[in-house]
């Protein structure tokens, strides 16, 4: 429904503009010149007809000006059209889609960043008579209008929105442009933001910020990995402490992996019973190997009895 309303508004504006561009009638002298020209064409009919007929292509329309006045009615074409070679001048208008490249121009964003953008505008001529009577340089008019419209629209958006929401920005710009160009007889079909150019200082600051965010993510992932690894090691230690046979199998598997990965390495395995003795609770509390306790002095078996003082 909104599109139908927009089309109706465009038709109304085009009809009003075409009515305003209708030329006034010819004067007496001008009508006299027209009659003389027609009589001359009739008198030289077999030869003059080749100078009074032109061909218009399917994608073209012709606007005829007679003695400087725009002839009433719609544009001529496609096909043959008749004109007076001495009094009439005609202008062809191409109705095909035109492409206009908008050069880089500076804009200021909502968060006070200065950047340069360029765009591509696709438009076509919708009303040839209105276009010729209202605009002198179509491409320049459309270019300046696109630049001013983009500056006005992007002043209300931040840098992140401009970089991520190009499609919605282009659609808003198309609607804003079409509301103005319909008065000129031009239909804007599409507009696209081609490139965004940031200053060198802003690029450096954004790169530093992005690198800091990536480093933070790397540290978080590494911390989560260490946490998961510690949880797995804790669970494995609890399982191995409950089953002594599993500890012995793990010990043998480690020896096998060492001999496979490094064949030149000489491995001298210790007996598992000795390892159990070394890992006993009393040794773990002391933190070192057991040392023999100092021996008490041994009394002689046959000690010599001392003489009594009485003797």
Question: Cα–Cα distance between 78 and 61 in angstroms, integer?
Answer: 7
Question: Cα–Cα distance between 67 and 33 in angstroms, integer?
Answer: 10
Closest to 154 (Cα-Cα) out of 141, 170, 175: 170
Do 117 and 4 meet the contact criterion of CB atoms below 8 Å apart?
no
pLDDT at 97: 92
| Two tokens, residue 109 | 């964003």
Q: Is the peptide bond before 78 cis (omega within 30 degrees of 0)?
A: yes
Instruction: Kindly report the number of other CB atoms within 10 A of residue 125's CB atom.
Output: 23
pLDDT at 117: 92
Closest to 170 (Cα-Cα) out of 182, 183, 157: 157
**Topology classification of domain 97-202:** Tetrahydropterin Synthase; Chain A (3.30.479)
| Two tokens, residue 54 | 């032109």
Question: Cα–Cα distance between 274 and 225 in angstroms, integer?
Answer: 35
pLDDT at 262: 65
End-to-end Cα distance, the chain: 144
pLDDT at 278: 62
Question: Cα–Cα distance between 36 and 147 in angstroms, integer?
Answer: 51
Domain borders along the chain are: 34-95, 97-202
Sheet harboring 88-94: ordered strands across? 69-70, 60-66, 88-94
pLDDT at 145: 93
Closest to 187 (Cα-Cα) out of 9, 1, 10: 10
pLDDT at 34: 82
Query: For residue 223, what are the CA distances in angstroms to 100, 209, 218, 219?
Result: 53, 21, 9, 6
Q: Are strands 53-56 and 88-94 parallel, antiparallel or unpaired?
A: unpaired
pLDDT at 153: 92
Do 188 and 178 meet the contact criterion of CB atoms below 8 Å apart?
yes
Q: Which residues of the chain have pLDDT under 50?
A: 1-4, 7, 17-23, 282-301, 303-311
């Amino acid at each position: 429904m909104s599109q139908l309303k927009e089309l109706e508004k465009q038709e109304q504006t085009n009809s009003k503009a075409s009515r305003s561009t209708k030329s006034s009638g010819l004067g007496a002298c001008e009508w006299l010149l027209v009659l003389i020209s027609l009589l001359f064409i009739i008198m030289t009919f077999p030869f003059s007809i080749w100078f009074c007929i032109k061909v218009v292509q399917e994608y073209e329309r012709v606007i005829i000006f007679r003695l400087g006045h725009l002839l009433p009615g719609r544009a001529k074409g496609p096909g043959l059209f008749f004109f007076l070679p001495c009094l009439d001048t005609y202008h062809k208008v191409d109705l095909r889609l035109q492409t206009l490249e908008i050069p880089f121009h500076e804009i200021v964003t909502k968060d006070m960043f200065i950047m340069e953008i360029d765009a591509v505008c696709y438009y076509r001529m919708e009303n040839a008579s209105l276009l010729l009577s209202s605009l002198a340089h179509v491409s320049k008019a459309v270019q300046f209008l696109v630049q001013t419209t983009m500056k006005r629209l992007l002043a209300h958006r931040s840098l992140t929105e401009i970089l991520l929401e190009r499609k919605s920005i282009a659609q808003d710009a198309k609607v804003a442009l079409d509301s103005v160009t319909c008065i000129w007889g031009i239909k804007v079909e599409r507009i696209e933001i081609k490139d965004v150019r940031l200053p060198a200082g802003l690029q450096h600051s954004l790169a530093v910020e992005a690198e800091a965010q990536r480093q933070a993510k790397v540290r978080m992932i590494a911390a989560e990995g260490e946490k998961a690894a510690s949880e797995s090691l804790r669970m494995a230690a609890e399982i191995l402490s409950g089953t002594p046979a599993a500890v012995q199998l793990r010990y043998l598997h480690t020896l096998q992996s060492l001999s496979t990965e490094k064949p030149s390495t000489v491995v001298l395995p210790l007996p598992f019973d000795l390892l159990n003795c070394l890992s006993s609770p009393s040794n773990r509390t002391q933190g070192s190997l057991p040392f023999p306790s100092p021996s008490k002095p041994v009394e002689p078996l046959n000690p010599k009895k001392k003489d009594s003082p009485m003797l």
